[in-house]
Homo-oligomer: A and B are copies of this chain.
Amino acid sequence: MVVKHGEWRTMPADPRKRLELLWGSSTPKRPGPRPKLTVDQIVATAIGIADAEGIEAVSMQRVATELGYTTMSLYRYVPSKEQLVEVMLDRAGEAPPPPGDDEQSWRSELENWVDGVWAMYLRHPWVLQVPITGAPSGPNQLAWFDAGLRPLVRAGLRDGDLMATILFLLGAVQQLAQLSVSMSTARTEAGVTMAETQAGYNAILQEFVSAERFPTLAKLTSAGVFAPTGLPDEGLDIDLKFGVQRVLDGIESYVQTGTS
C-alpha cells in the first residue's frame, strides 16, 4: 500500500500478528515438523548479545549462529528483524517489582518506581538506542506503566492527568539514562577515566563557549560546574532525583490547590 520512490516497501505489519508475537499465543495443532526453536529462545539470545555487546552486534546471522542454526531459520519464528527487536524491547523490561504494601507514601512509591526504571535501563542500555515505533503495547511495558500509575492515583491526580504525568516522568528518566549510558560507553571505548572525560569536556567548553555567545553557559563553566568532581560515577542519577523531587512537589501542590 505504501510506495516510496516507485519501489514497493514491505507492508506495515499486521497489528494482529505483532500482538501475537508480543503476548504469545497458543498455536493450534498443525501438520509439519515440530519447531525446534521458540521465539523466547531467540529473543533471549538476542538480548544476551545486546546486553554484552550492544544492539549493533545483534544481527540475524549472529543470533542464529549463537543458537546453532542458520540465519534463515529465524524467519520461521519472527517475521522481520524489526519485530524481533520490538519483542526484545518488551522482554528486556522484565517485570516491575510487585506493588508492595500500601504502607509507604505515594511519593516514595513513585521514587522507587523511577529508580526501578532507571536501573532497568542501566541493565539493558541498548533499549534506549532503539528508535521508538509506537505506543507501548507489550505486557511488560504495560506492567511498568501500571506500576507507575498506581502511586499517582493514590496521590489524587485526576484520570486525565495521569497519563501526562507518567509519560513526562518516564521521558525524563529515559533521556537521562540514555545520556548517562552514552557518556559511560563513550568513555569506556576511549579507554579514558571519568575525570579525563570531564576535563576534556570542560576544556571544550573553555575553548568554544565565549561569554558573548553563551553568556549563561560561560558563567557556569567559569564557576567550575563542569570541572572534574572526582566522583566515580557521573552522577546523572542525582540530577534525575532532583528533577523528580520538583515534579512530586509540583504534583502535591497541584492536587491541593487544584489550579492548573
Complex Cα–Cα for A143 and B167 (A): 27
Contact mask for chain A residues 162-173; partner B; CB cutoff 8 A; 1 contact, 0 none? 111101111111
Contact residues in B for A83 (Cβ distance below 8 Å):
none
Q: Is A213 an interface residue (CB 8 A)?
A: yes
Distance (Å) between the CB of A6 and the closest chain B CB? 13
Q: Is the CB of B171 within 8 A of A174?
A: yes
Q: Is the CB of B133 within 8 A of A15?
A: no
A interface residues, how many (CB within 8 angstroms)? 80
Complex Cα–Cα for A222 and B217 (A): 48
Complex Cα–Cα for A172 and B225 (A): 23
Contact mask for chain A residues 1-42; partner B; CB cutoff 8 A; 1 contact, 0 none? 110100000001001000100010000000000000000000
| From A4, A23, A217, residue with most partner B Cβ within 10 Å | A217
Contact residues in B for A134 (Cβ distance below 8 Å):
182-183, 186
Q: Is the CB of B146 within 8 A of A216?
A: yes
Contact residues in B for A145 (Cβ distance below 8 Å):
214, 217
List A residues 240-259 near B (Cβ within 8 Å): 240, 242-251, 253-254
Q: Is the CB of A225 within 8 A of B160?
A: yes
Complex Cα–Cα for A38 and B118 (A): 42
List A residues 212-245 near B (Cβ within 8 Å): 213-217, 219-220, 223, 225, 236, 238-240, 242-245
Q: Is the CB of B149 within 8 A of A220?
A: yes
Contact residues in B for A215 (Cβ distance below 8 Å):
146, 150
Contact of A172 among B172, B179, B208 (CB under 8 A): B172
Contact residues in B for A247 (Cβ distance below 8 Å):
243, 246-247, 250
Complex Cα–Cα for A205 and B248 (A): 28
3 closest residue pairs by CB, A with B? A171-B175, A168-B243, A246-B250
**27 A-B interface contacts by CB (under 8 A):** A12-B186, A15-B204, A19-B204, A23-B208, A129-B131, A132-B178, A133-B186, A134-B183, A135-B179, A139-B213, A146-B213, A150-B215, A150-B216, A153-B216, A159-B225, A160-B225, A162-B220, A168-B176, A168-B239, A168-B244, A168-B246, A169-B172, A171-B173, A171-B174, A243-B247, A246-B247, A250-B250
